[in-house]
Structures are given as C-alpha cells and as structure tokens.
Amino acid sequence: MSARRVNADELSRDKIIRKARFLFEEKGYRAVSMRSIAAELGCSHGALYYHFKNKEQLFYGMIEEDFAQLNQIIDTVMASEEHRAQKLRTLFLRFIEYGLNNQNQYEFMFLMKGEGVDGLMQSPANESYEKFAQAVFKLMDRPPAIYLIWSAFLSLHGFVSHFLGYAQSYSEAEAAAENHVTFVLRGLGNEGSC
Amino acid sequence: MSARRVNADELSRDKIIRKARFLFEEKGYRAVSMRSIAAELGCSHGALYYHFKNKEQLFYGMIEEDFAQLNQIIDTVMASEEHRAQKLRTLFLRFIEYGLNNQNQYEFMFLMKGEGVDGLMQSPANESYEKFAQAVFKLMDRPPAIYLIWSAFLSLHGFVSHFLGYAQSYSEAEAAAENHVTFVLRGLGNEGSC
DNA sequence: CCCTTTATTAACCAATGGTCAATTAATAGT
DNA sequence: ACTATTAATTGACCATTGGTTAATAAAGGG
C-alpha cells in the first residue's frame, strides 16, 4: 500500500532471484509471469522493474551465477587423475549430466534463439563451447580436425536437447547417456577410448 | 463490415493456411499473431476461430499436409539404386536437408514440448522416427543394437536443432552436414560406409 | 417467400510484458 | 532538528495477445 516499505521489508535482487528461481524451475520460463513472481513476493510487479530491466534480464541475472558451473565441470574433469581416454568419456558424460540437471540454463544457453534473449546468452555459451573444444582437443590421441569436435558436441547436444522435458534429471537418462557417449567416442575415432 | 460476405469473398481453410504459411515461414510461430493473419486476409480475427479451433490447430492444419514428406524422403532413398552404404549416407543427409528446409515443421515435430502442442505432434514424429530407424536397420551390414540407431538419430537431431535459426536453408550448412554425417557413420561402426 | 444454416463481425474477456507519475522511507547536508 | 535529495514502491495505465460470443447478414432449401 505505502509507496515505500520499511528497511527490513524491502526487496533486493537476491530475494527476487531466489523466488524467481523456485518458480522458473518448477514451471519453466514462459509459464512464469512477472506478476506471479511479484505476487509470491507480496509486491507489485512494477517493483520488479526497478531491480531488473525486464523479464529476460531477471532470468539472466538468475542463471548468471550458474554459468561458471559448466566451465568448472570441465576444469574438474581435466584436473582429475584418470587416463586421457577415460577423461574424455567422463567429460562427455558430465556435459550431459550438466544439461539434464540444469535444464533451464541449458535451454537458454544452447537452445533459445529468436525470443529476444539471443544475444545475451551467446557469449557465455560460446565461451563454454570453446573451453569444451579445447579440452577435447587436449584429450585426443592425435590432434583431431576441428569439425570432429564440433560434431561430437552437436551429438551430445542432440541427446540433451531431446531429453529436456522428458527426463526430470540426469539419473533418468544415465543408461542411455552411457551408450550415446560410447557412440560419440567411436565417431571421434579415438582409438584408446572404444 | 457486413456480418457475412458474398460467396466469392468468403474465407476458407485453404486461403487462411496459404496466408498463414507465408507469415509463419517468414517470422516463426510465436511472432505471428492471429490478428496479424486476419489483418493480412482482410478479415476480423474472430473469423479465423470459425475455421480453426485455435492457433495451434491452425498451425497444425498448415503443416499436416507436409508431414508425409519426411516419410516420403525415406522411401525415395530406400528405393534408389545406390549401394547400401551410400544409401545410409544419403538418408542421413536427406534428413538434415529436410530439417533445415522445413524449419517450422521440424521444430514442431522434434523440438516443441511444453507449449500445448505436445501431444499433437507426438505421433507423426514417432511414426517418422520409426520409419527412419527401420531404414537404418535395413541398411546396416550387421543388425545394429537399437540404441545405436537412436544415437545416430540424436546426433543428426543435434546438428539440425543447432542450425535452426542460424542457417536459412540446408545449402548454407551443406559442407558441415557432410562432415557431420561422416562422423555419425563412423559412430555407427558400419564398416562399408567410412 | 420463409426458415434454417453458415459465415462474419465487433465488442468483449483475462493475461501478459512493460512504463510512469506520484508517493513515501531513508539518508545526507547544514 | 530541519530540509533537500535520493531510493524504492505502488497502482494506474498502455498495447498486445489468444480466445469467446451475441448479433447479424448472406446462402440455400422447402
């Protein structure tokens, strides 16, 4: 009612994002309206536009913090004690795992084009792919053609993007993922890993 | 203005679909509103709801006629005079070609979930996959494990779904497609085709 | 010529994303 | 302690969207 709340009741990027994450994870980007977020927070939807320029920026602000994750996953795999061939396999599996356990983020990173979010996600996605490609490059027995890495990535991407929405989490698709990764490794032609 | 037009000026499923196809192909599903279709047709948007239950049904009615295409493509490849190994390669390339030259349809068939269209497209998509899988099965030197075919499909799917929106048509991605198909064939482990 | 069916309009609805002037709490300056 | 400024918030507003519906006019059959 009153135009400004007392300190303790004030909003903050953090409060908003926490609630938004909950809702987005439950219902997906499109099914969550700015008004519904505001309602859950007990404020007017106008207030959200003080903290975030628009819905996309709010969503972006929310997954921004998770962006580093994929890169970190790659780093972790690279730093592990496994053999190179095994590392490669693990890398692929972890990629799928990441995609299916962070479906919102994945969708925005690699799947959403033509909704206005376009440009935003592009650079983090490219960054992540670059890191992925370099990791694969290092883990192969012989330096592979770049298009081979690209194909491997697209194949994993196909797997993830199909299971988005069908599988609730990675665990439900684990067996299939294992098979698919074997397939991709053979496609790469890395002798040691098949 | 008048509540009903003279015969010659009346709408028809066909007139609507023709205009709708033009718009959808140009701007994509979401960016085309029922009102914009009506405006282009010079009628009120209410009239559209006399001929189609809703936007989805209108879109579905539009691509329904094109659904047989993919199946037909598969048949054509199977009936060709090429060697089995070459057929397999051609099949994969034609699949990609279909996807990138019919981006709207492809998106609806294999990518759109959670927008209400869900159930509609499911069965034609499954049918097409079934046909695809059987074709691959027949063209392999040795009967492959089913999950191998599934992996091959997902890999092609990854390729197409990535290039959706980036490539205007198949021709722009042809070289990449060629490489990717080689990759997929190696993943399948069909001796004759690599 | 009337009556029924068919096609169309226009006014309406509830949601949505987004903007903005007005208002109030907090805060810094004097 | 008073005041001017700034930071948040509201709520009314906008255009657009998908969708519904009562009223109405043309077509067509008896």
B1-34 residue pLDDT tens: 687 888 778 889 999 999 999 999 899 899 999 9
pTM of the complete model? 0.87
Residues in contact with A48: Cβ distance below 8 Å, sequence separation at least 6, in sequence order = A16, A34, A37, A38, A58
* Angle in degrees, 0-180, between the axes of helices A84-101 and A170-188, rounded to the nearest 10: 140
Beta bridge partners of B167: B164
Nearest CA in chain A to B180: A151
Neighbour count for residue A46 (Cβ, 10 Å): 10
In contact, B97 and B89? CB cutoff 8 Å: no
Q: Does B95 touch chain A (CB under 8 A)?
A: no
Look at residue B125 in the predicted model and tell me its pLDDT.
Answer: 81
Look at residue A67 in the predicted model and tell me its pLDDT.
Answer: 79
Residues of A in contact with B155 (CB under 8 A): 151, 154-155, 158-159, 183-184, 187
Look at residue A9 in the predicted model and tell me its pLDDT.
Answer: 85
Q: Does A183 touch chain B (CB under 8 A)?
A: yes
Q: Does A63 touch chain B (CB under 8 A)?
A: no
Q: Which residues of A110-149 are buried (b: 16+ CB within 10 A; e: fewer)?
A: bbbbeeebeebbeebbeebbebbbebbeebbeeebeeebb
Backbone torsions φ then ψ of B31, nearest 5 degrees: -80, -5
State yes or no: pLDDT of B115 exceeds 60.
no
Q: Does B157 touch chain A (CB under 8 A)?
A: yes
Could you tell me what percent of chain B has a pLDDT over 90? Answer: 68
pLDDT tens profile A100-142: 998 888 887 777 665 555 566 677 788 889 999 999 999 999 9
Calculate the angstrom distance between C1' of C29 and CA of B43. 65
Look at residue A3 in the predicted model and tell me its pLDDT.
Answer: 83
Q: What is the ipTM of this complex?
A: 0.85
3-state secondary structure chain A: CCCCCCHHHCCCHHHHHHHHHHHHHHHCCCCCCHHHHHHHHCCCHHHHHHHCCCHHHHHHHHHHHHHHHHHHHHHHHHHCCCCHHHHHHHHHHHHHHHHHHCHHHHHHHHHCCCCCCHHHHHHHHHHHHHHHHHHHHHHCCCCCCHHHHHHHHHHHHHHHHHHECCECCHHHHHHHHHHHHHHHHHHHCCHHHC
Q: What is the pLDDT along chain A (194 residues), one digit of tens a residue?
A: 688 998 888 889 999 999 999 999 899 889 999 999 999 999 999 999 999 999 999 999 988 877 788 999 999 999 999 999 999 999 999 999 999 998 888 887 777 665 555 566 677 788 889 999 999 999 999 999 999 999 999 999 999 999 987 898 999 999 999 999 999 999 998 766 55
Rounded distance, CA B165 to CA A40, Å?
Answer: 35
Beta strands in B118-181 (DSSP E): none
Look at residue B88 in the predicted model and tell me its pLDDT.
Answer: 97
Neighbour count for residue A184 (Cβ, 10 Å): 28
Rounded distance, CA A153 to CA B179, Å?
Answer: 13
Q: Which of residues 29-48 of B touch strand C (CB under 7 A)?
A: 42-44, 46-47
pLDDT (average), residues B87-91: 97
Length in residues, chain A: 194
Angstroms from B62 CA to nearest CA on chain A: 21
Q: Does A104 touch chain B (CB under 8 A)?
A: no
Residues of A in contact with B189 (CB under 8 A): 186
Q: At CA A54, angle to CA A51 and CA A57, rounded to 5?
A: 80
Average pLDDT score over chain B: 90
Nearest CA in chain A to B157: A158
Instruction: Tell me which residue in B162, B166, B183 faces A157 most closely, judged by beta carbons.
Output: B162
pLDDT tens profile B93-107: 999 999 999 888 888
Backbone torsions φ then ψ of A150, nearest 5 degrees: -60, -45
The footprint of strand D (CB < 7 Å) covers A 1-5, 9-11, 42-44, 46-47, 50-51; B 2-7, 32-36, 45-46, 49, 53-56
From the Cβ of A107, is strand C under 7 Å away? no
pLDDT tens profile B126-168: 888 999 999 999 999 999 999 999 999 999 999 999 998 789 8
Look at residue B192 in the predicted model and tell me its pLDDT.
Answer: 61
In contact, B157 and A180? CB cutoff 8 Å: no
